[in-house]
Amino acid sequence: MPQTPVSLPDFRREKRLRRNGLWPIAGIDEVGRGCLAGPVAAAAVILDPSDVPDGLDDSKRLPAAMREALYEEILARGLAVAVAFVSAADIDQINIRQASLTAMRRALAALAIAPSYVLIDGNDLPADLACPGEAIIKGDSLSASIAAASIVAKVARDRLMTRLCSAHPAYGFSRHVGYATPEHLAAIAKHGPSPYHRLSFSPLRQI
């Protein structure tokens, strides 16, 4: 049977909000929530309505080479882009949900252009945002702005984990970017946690 084609995120929500007088619109997404190591990252992106890159999609559905290419396009063609991280140590202090929301707030605050409205992936809208917004479940597969933010956050975090791999090569961070793969779990069992591991996450909290 032929497969149903996967629909790509579009800019219709942003256009509708703009017609209603809300502009600029920022998309926000986070990555790394389920990892055992490294920070959680969030990105905020304001796309140019007249120059939206083709091929934007949920970063998890894109091959690595396409993510990298789109990352460069978003930085070059977007009106404003910002990335924020919350460290593993802070995640252990405040929990992963609060760390994710903090990263989103930081990314939004770091934008060079202040948005009038934000579209955030998921069902959790951070409190105390500088502007109104809405959380959209599976927003990274629906909104082009959120999809762009998911790509920027994913590539920025993956690059950081590759740099951490150079300092701690025994864990293979560049290959699994902190997720609980068999390789990663075996490295933790052999070497113990690094300074970048989340000690509040199982199985690390049992070590």
Tell me, what CATH number does 111's domain have?
3.30.420.10
pLDDT band at 5 (very low <50, low <70, confident <90, very high): low
| Pick from 56, 71, 59, 55: nearest CA to 32 | 59
205 is a domain residue: no
The structural domain count of the chain equals 1
| pLDDT at 9 exceeding the cut of 90 | yes
99 is a domain residue: yes
Which residues of the chain form beta strands (DSSP E)? Answer: 25-31, 40-46, 80-86, 117-121, 133-136
Percent pLDDT > 70 in the chain is 96
| pLDDT at 30 exceeding the cut of 80 | yes
189 is a domain residue: no
120 is a domain residue: yes
pLDDT value of position 3: 52
| pLDDT at 93 exceeding the cut of 80 | yes
Tokens found for residue 106: 């930081």
pLDDT value of position 141: 96
pLDDT value of position 205: 81
16 is a domain residue: yes
71 is a domain residue: yes
pTM for this model (two decimals): 0.94
pLDDT value of position 6: 65
pLDDT in tens, 128-165: 898 999 999 999 999 999 999 999 999 999 999 999 99
Phi, psi of 28, deg, nearest 5: -135, 140
| pLDDT at 2 exceeding the cut of 60 | no
187 is a domain residue: no
| pLDDT at 182 exceeding the cut of 80 | yes
| Mean pLDDT computed over 99-120 | 97
| pLDDT at 72 exceeding the cut of 90 | yes
pLDDT band at 206 (very low <50, low <70, confident <90, very high): low
CA 14/CA 165 separation, integer angstroms? 38
- HSE-up of 80 (CA within 13 Å, CB side)? 17
202 is a domain residue: no
Q: Which structural domain range is residue 44 located in? A: 12-163
pLDDT band at 207 (very low <50, low <70, confident <90, very high): low
CA 116/CA 19 separation, integer angstroms? 13
**Mean pLDDT for all residues in the chain:** 95
